[in-house]
Amino acid sequence: MENISANGNASDKLGVLIVGLGGAVASTFVIGSLSVRKGYSKPIGSISQLSEISIKKGSEITEPKIKDIIPITSLNDLVFGGWDIFPESVYEAAIHAEVLSKEDIEKVADEAKAIKPMPGAFDQEFVKRLNGTHVKGTTNKWELVQLIIEDIRSFKKENNLDRIVILWAASTEIYVPMSEVHMDIASLEKAMKENSPEIAPSMCYAYAAINEGIPFINGAPALTVDMPALIDFSLKNKVAICGKDFKTGQTMMKTVLSPMLKTRMLGLNGWFSTNILGNRDGEVLDDPDSFKTKEVSKLSVIDTILEPKKYPELYGDIYHKVRINYYPPRKDNKEGWDNIDLFGWMGYPMQLKVDFLCRDSILAAPLCLDLVLFTDLAQRCGSYGIQTWLSFYFKSPMHEMGKNPEHDLFTQNAIMRNKLRSFIGAEPLDALV
Ligand SMILES: NC(=O)c1ccc[n+]([C@@H]2O[C@H](COP(=O)([O-])OP(=O)(O)OC[C@H]3O[C@@H](n4cnc5c(N)ncnc54)[C@H](O)[C@@H]3O)[C@@H](O)[C@H]2O)c1
C-alpha cells in the first residue's frame, strides 16, 4: 500500500508520549506492545492489528486486515516515553501494578527498564489522593506549559522522531466545570498566566501538544481538551484531538445493551451499576471530587441512546445510578455489576443482571494502541480538530457543540470503518464490516 500522507509517512518513527507512564494502563499498554513486536504475545482486543475491513472496488469486495490496507504506523516504529509524578520505569510500574505476570514482564525487561518518565506537571489540588515525588518544580500553569513544550522538543530530538502523539492515561482529575476561561484561547492563556484554579494540569499538557502540532488523546473523563478554546486552537494549528474516557468495561456493556432494549422497544425504569476496584485508579476515584468527573462521563450514555423525549412511555422515568467502590484486594481485576430493571408487553417487569469480572488495564491497553495509531493516521491525512469517528473508543465522546454524541457501539464501529475507508479513497459501506 502506498503511503497517502501529505504530512509524514507511515514508515517514519512515531513517538508515543504518555501522561501517566507509570500507571496500570500505560505500563500494560507499553509492555504489551513491546511483547507483541517481539512475537511473545498477540494484540488481542486491537482492531488496528487484528480486524479485517471490507473494501469495495466496482463489484468486487475484498477483506484485507486493516493493518495491511490502511497505512497505519507499524508497532516496530513506535518509540515510547512520557511523564509521571513517580519516577519508576515502565518495568517497575508494571511490576507494581500487578496486572501482568512477572514472566511476561521479564521477557521485555531490558527495553521496559530504559523507558523512564519525565517529571510530571502536577498540582495536588486536582488529584487529592496522590502525593507525587517526581514533579516539576512549579505549579504555575503557564510555566508548566513551557516546561512540557521543552520536554516534547527534547524527546523528539533525542529520539530522532518524525512525529509524536500524546496520550493522557493519567489519574482522573477533580471535576472542573466549563466556564468563561475555557471559551477562547486568549482567555485560556490569560487564566494559565494568572494560575487560575480553573486550569487543571491536564489542560497544560493538551495546550502544549496542540501548540507543538501534536495530536492529543484524552483517555480520562476530565475536561482537558474538550473545550471551545482548545478545539479552536486544534483547528487553527491543524491538530487531531479526541476523547474522552476510554470505553472499556461497564460502559461498553451499556452501549451494547441499551441499543438492544431500544431496538426491541422494551422499556427501562432502572439501571444500577456498581464496581469494586483496588488499583491506584480506584484509590483516586475514591475521592468524591475525582469520582464526580467519572460519574458525569458514565451517566450520559443511556439517555443519549434511549432518547427519553421521543419515547417517554418507555424511557421517560429511568433511575440511573453509578457507584465505584475502592476495594484493595481486587487490585486491577475490577468486578462490575449491573442490575437492569426493564419492562415488556403490557408493562410487565423483568430483570437483567450482568456480572463482568474484567481486567481494567487489559481492556484499556488495546484501545490505547488503536487510538495512537488512528489519531496519527488522521493527522497525516489532514483530519484535524475533534475526531468524532473515534467515538467507538470513548465513554463520553467529544462532539460538536449542539449535537448529540453517538454512543451505540455498533453504529460507532460502522462510522469508524467508513472513515478508515475514506483515508484510502475507498467507497463507504453500510454494513458493520
Ligand atoms: N483502565 C480502564 O479501563 C480505564 C477506563 C477508562 C478510563 N481510565 C482512566 O485512565 C486513567 C489511567 O488509569 P490507570 O488504571 O492506569 O490509573 P493509575 O492510577 O494506575 O495511573 C495513573 C498514573 O497517572 C499518574 N499521574 C497522575 N497525575 C499526573 C500528572 N499530572 N502528570 C503525570 N502523571 C500523572 C499517576 O502517578 C499514575 O502513575 C485514569 O484516569 C482512569 O480513570 C481507565
Structural domain includes residue 162 = yes
* Separation of alpha carbons 197 and 368, rounded Å: 29
Cα-to-centroid distance, 378 and ligand 1 (Å): 25
What would the mean pLDDT of 359-364 be, rounded to a whole number? 94
**Distance spanning both ends of the chain, measured CA to CA:** 20
In a shared domain, residues 289 and 379: no
The yes-or-no verdict on residue 298 having pLDDT over 80 is no
The yes-or-no verdict on residue 347 having pLDDT over 90 is yes
In a shared domain, residues 221 and 259: no
Beta carbon of 85 within 6 Å of any ligand 1 atom:
yes
pLDDT digits (tens, 9 = 90+) for 152-188: 999 999 999 989 999 999 999 999 999 999 999 999 9
In a shared domain, residues 85 and 46: yes
| % of the chain residues with pLDDT over 70 | 96
Element (H, E) at 168: strand 163-168
In a shared domain, residues 176 and 191: yes
User: DSSP H helical segments within 98-173, as ranges?
Assistant: 102-106, 109-114, 141-158
> How many residues in the chain?
433
Confidence of residue 341 (pLDDT cuts 50, 70, 90): very high
Structural domain includes residue 5 = no
Nearest residue (by CA) to ligand 1, atom 32, is: 120
Cα-to-centroid distance, 73 and ligand 1 (Å): 25
* Separation of alpha carbons 68 and 105, rounded Å: 28
In a shared domain, residues 62 and 159: yes
User: What nine digits make up the cell of 10?
Assistant: 507511515
Confidence of residue 7 (pLDDT cuts 50, 70, 90): low
* Separation of alpha carbons 371 and 242, rounded Å: 9
HEC string of 193-251?
HCCCCCCCHHHHHHHHHHHCCCCEEECCCCCCCCCHHHHHHHHHCCCEEEECCECCCHH
In a shared domain, residues 171 and 25: yes
The yes-or-no verdict on residue 381 having pLDDT over 50 is yes
What would the mean pLDDT of 376-384 be, rounded to a whole number? 96
Structural domain includes residue 2 = no
Of 357, 384, 399, the position where a domain reaches its end is: 357
Looking at the DSSP bridge assignments, the partners of residue 339 are: 272, 353
In a shared domain, residues 119 and 233: yes
In a shared domain, residues 173 and 268: no
Q: What is the total count of domains within the chain?
A: 2
- Which amino acid makes up residue 213? G
* Separation of alpha carbons 42 and 45, rounded Å: 9
In a shared domain, residues 350 and 371: no
In a shared domain, residues 151 and 219: yes
Where residue 382 sits, what CATH number does that domain have? 3.40.50.720
pLDDT digits (tens, 9 = 90+) for 74-115: 999 999 999 999 999 999 999 999 999 999 999 999 999 999
What would the mean pLDDT of 279-298 be, rounded to a whole number? 78
In a shared domain, residues 404 and 281: no
- Which amino acid makes up residue 407? H
What would the mean pLDDT of 350-363 be, rounded to a whole number? 94
Nearest residue (by CA) to ligand 1, atom 5, is: 246
The yes-or-no verdict on residue 1 having pLDDT over 80 is no
Cα-to-centroid distance, 91 and ligand 1 (Å): 16
What would the mean pLDDT of 296-305 be, rounded to a whole number? 79
pTM of the model: 0.94
Structural domain includes residue 430 = no
pLDDT digits (tens, 9 = 90+) for 225-259: 999 999 999 999 999 999 999 999 888 999 899 99
Return the pLDDT at 69. Answer: 95
Structural domain includes residue 335 = yes
Where residue 321 sits, what CATH number does that domain have? 3.30.360.10
Cα-to-centroid distance, 84 and ligand 1 (Å): 10
In a shared domain, residues 310 and 384: no
User: What nine digits make up the cell of 48?
Assistant: 488496528
Q: Which of 192-206, 286-300, 359-373 has the lowest mean pLDDT?
A: 286-300
What would the mean pLDDT of 187-198 be, rounded to a whole number? 96
Return the pLDDT at 2. Answer: 37
Return the pLDDT at 333. Answer: 86
User: What nine digits make up the cell of 126?
Assistant: 486536582
Return the pLDDT at 250. Answer: 87
Return the pLDDT at 11. Answer: 66
Nearest residue (by CA) to ligand 1, atom 44, is: 246
User: What nine digits make up the cell of 26?
Assistant: 500505560
Of 300, 322, 357, the position where a domain reaches its end is: 357
In terms of residue numbers, what domain contains 241?
A: 14-246+362-423
pLDDT digits (tens, 9 = 90+) for 320-340: 998 889 999 988 888 999 999
What would the mean pLDDT of 379-386 be, rounded to a whole number? 96
Q: How far is CA 107 from CA 34, 101, 110, 388, in A?
A: 9, 10, 8, 37
| % of the chain residues with pLDDT over 90 | 77
Return the pLDDT at 431. Answer: 61
Best of 176, 202, 242, 281 to mutate for ligand 1, by most ligand atoms within 8 A of CB?
281
Structural domain includes residue 1 = no
Structural domain includes residue 428 = no
Of 357, 388, 407, the position where a domain reaches its end is: 357
Structural domain includes residue 6 = no
pLDDT digits (tens, 9 = 90+) for 10-45: 668 999 999 999 999 999 999 999 999 999 999 999
Beta carbon of 24 within 6 Å of any ligand 1 atom:
yes
For the chain, how many helices (H) and strands (E)? 16, 13
Non-local CB neighbours of 141 within 8 Å, separated by 6+ positions: 191, 192, 193, 195, 196, 199, 201, 203, 204
